[in-house]
Every structure is written in C-alpha cells, then in structure tokens.
Amino acid sequence: MKTVRTISEVRAALAAPRQRASAIGLVPTMGAFHDGHLSLMRRAREECDVVVVSLFVNPTQFNESSDLAAYPRDEARDARVAADLGVDYLFAPPVEEIYANGFATTVSVAGITDTLEGAHRGRAHFDGVSTVVTKLFNIVAPDVAYFGQKDAQQVAVIRRLVRDLDIPVRIRVCPTVRDPDGLALSSRNAHLSPDARTRAAGLNRALEAAQHAVTGGERDSRSVSAIARAALTEADVEPEYLEFVSADTMTPVRRIDSDTLAVVAARVGSTRLIDNHLLSTSAAGSSDDRRQ
Ligand code: AMP
C-alpha cells in the first residue's frame, strides 16, 4: 500500500488503472479505524480492482472545535491496518491540500439536511460533508464509493448530491458494525468512560425495543417512540432526538412502514453518539441490510 498526500499524486497513481478500465473503489474516512471502517474496505477490496481509502479529518464538518481537537488520530496504525487489508492507496492529505488559500466554494444539499443531524449540528456540518465528498469524488473519480449505514442521513445526503450533480459514481451502503452488546462502532467510542460505555449500549437497546414493538404490530410512531424512550430512560440516556423518519427524505412519519428509519442521538457523558435501525414491518424483524 502506498500513502499519497497530494491530489496530483492520486491522479498520477490512478491514470494507468483507469486507462485499463479497472474498477476504482473509494472509502472516505476520518481515520481511527475500527471494524466498521474495515467492513467498507473489505467490501471495496472484494468488488474493485483498485481500492483507495481517504483519511482526512475534515475540519469544516465539525461544529465544535473541542470535538475536532479531541478527534482520535493515529495515521501510522491506520496505515498498517489498511495495508493488511489489501488497500492500494491511502490518501492522507494535509488540510491545505484540500482547502487551498482562498477556498470559497460550498456544496450544500437542501431539504434532507434540515432535520436531525442538520438541525442539531447546524447547516455547516452537512455542507462540510457535501463539499469534501464532492472534492474526493473529483480527485479520485471512483466507480464505486462505500459508506456506512451508521450515518444514515449522510448516506441520504450523498445519494441526493450524486443524483443532483450527475456525479458518475455508484454508492454502496454497508451495514452498521456493532460491538457484542449492540453499541455501534464509532471512533468517538474511545472517549467513553467505563460507566458511559455501559450506558451507551442503551441507544441500540432502544432501537431494538422500537423494532420489537413494530414486529408485534404497532405502527403508530408515537406509541413506538414511547416504548423506545422508556428503554433510553432505563439506560440513563437522555436523547437529543429520537425520531421515526422516512429513510429517503429524513422527515418524521406518523405511521411506520418499510421505509421508516428509527434514529437516535444522545450525549453519553461528554461524547455525542448517533445510531439508527431501518425498521422491518415483516414478522422477521429488523434488518440493517436491506438497502445495500
Ligand atoms: P468516519 O471515519 O466516522 O467518517 O466514517 C467513515 C465511514 O465509515 C462512513 O461512511 C461511516 O458511515 C462508516 N462507519 C462508521 N462507523 C461505522 C460502523 N459502525 N459500521 C459501518 N460503517 C461505519
């Protein structure tokens, strides 16, 4: 695996494979790799001839400077892990390579960014995501790009962006990877104290309680919400939001159907966590996997 730092190095490295019509896969990340990141890389390795992983802690998508400052970074370890997995290129640019002096352009997706993370973290968060992902798509020009269902609203925003701007890339969404107690893996989990780590499992338990109610026939989102909230209270977790939304538009629904996402965000200790389940209305129960 080769680590590259500049846009021109990426383009030079990919010129020959592109000429040969090799399939190029991109996995955008902010590093501090865990099994969630690795699942995306594995999928890319299975499906593409050339795998590029970007590692860029994008300052413009952080709404709290303390969160950016505390964001875990260990490029040397990340590089070893990616190399072991068979990644071809790790694109780890310095901030000035992505945001040159005088940078003045923002890609902003309207509508689906108004709710949930967009409402709680502010407009700049998804603008930062949309702008950097557009740049990565332009720099790497991948055939396929891999994202995690863990960040469901981000997936919806990127799908919209790719459609609206006619970016020729296929978006693949991989299921959320979890610890054995159900906590969705996140680079921020490293900040959880032992007590907060125990409570954090309550997010997934609340989503499971919602699924259980839906499997039992309940379709009214307010009733399901009350059941999920009780599970959060039991775990001593106060949600920033707990909502039932359309997976495509991210707007709240009254009646739960097969397109409904249960989404939750909460600060556990000082760490802000998010999670979601795509609810199944069949008797079989929850499935994070249906939208891959
Ligand atoms: P990040 O480094 O947090 O920006 O995440 C990079 C990519 O990994 C994003 O597409 C995330 O949605 C995805 N990801 C993060 N956590 C998980 C997880 N637990 N399971 C699957 N994918 C994940």
Digit-coded pLDDT (tens) for 259-290: 999 999 999 999 999 999 999 998 765 555 44
Segment 238-248 shows an average pLDDT of 97
The answer to whether the CB of 196 falls within 8 A of the CB of 189 is no
pTM of the model: 0.96
56-78 pLDDT, tens digit per residue, is: 999 999 999 999 999 999 999 99
Q: Please state the atom number of ligand 1 nearest to the C-alpha of residue 151.
A: 12
Ligand 1 centroid, distance to 69 Cα (angstroms): 19
How much helix, strand and coil, in percent to the nearest 5, is found in the chain?
A: 45, 20, 35
Is the per-residue pLDDT at 291 higher than 50? Answer: no
Long-range Cβ pairs for the range 4-9 (8 Å, 24+): 4/89, 4/90, 4/91, 4/92, 5/91, 5/92, 5/93, 5/94, 5/97, 6/93, 6/97, 7/93, 7/97, 7/139
Task: Give me the pLDDT at residue 286, please.
Answer: 55
Q: How far apart are the first and last CA of the chain?
A: 27
In 3D space, the residue among 175, 165, 96, 104 whose CA is nearest the CA of residue 137 turns out to be: 165
150-204 pLDDT, tens digit per residue, is: 999 999 999 999 999 999 999 999 999 999 999 999 999 999 999 999 999 999 9
Q: Enter the DSSP assignment of 178.
A: B
Give the rounded percent of residues in the chain with a pLDDT score beyond 90: 96
Q: Measured at the alpha carbon of residue 184, what is the angle toward residues 169 and 221, in degrees to the nearest 5?
A: 90
Which residues are known catalytic residues? 37
Enumerate the β-bridge partners of residue 271.
268
Which residues in the chain belong to E strands, given as ranges? 2-4, 24-29, 50-55, 89-91, 144-148, 170-174, 239-246, 260-268, 271-278
Q: Please state the atom number of ligand 1 nearest to the C-alpha of residue 147.
A: 10
C-alpha 57/C-alpha 72 separation (Å) is: 9
- Look-up: residue for tokens 């999670």? 275
Task: Give me the pLDDT at residue 282, please.
Answer: 87
DSSP 252-263: B-SB--TTEEEE
In 3D space, the residue among 173, 138, 176 whose CA is nearest the CA of residue 157 turns out to be: 173
Ligand 1 centroid, distance to 37 Cα (angstroms): 5
Ligand 1 centroid, distance to 176 Cα (angstroms): 8
Average pLDDT, the chain: 96
Residues with Cβ within 6 A of ligand 1? 29-30, 36-37, 39-40, 147-148, 150-151, 174, 176-177, 184-187
* Paired tokens of 55: 């590692």
Q: Please state the atom number of ligand 1 nearest to the C-alpha of residue 146.
A: 10
Is the per-residue pLDDT at 292 higher than 80? Answer: no
Q: Cβ contacts of residue 191 below 8 Å, gap of 6+?
A: 70, 72, 269, 270, 271
In 3D space, the residue among 109, 7, 101 whose CA is nearest the CA of residue 56 turns out to be: 7
Task: Give me the pLDDT at residue 284, please.
Answer: 61
C-alpha 193/C-alpha 74 separation (Å) is: 20
114-164 pLDDT, tens digit per residue, is: 999 999 999 999 999 999 999 999 999 999 999 999 999 999 999 999 999
Task: Give me the pLDDT at residue 287, please.
Answer: 54
User: Three-class SS of residue 210?
Assistant: helix
Give the rounded percent of residues in the chain with a pLDDT score beyond 70: 97
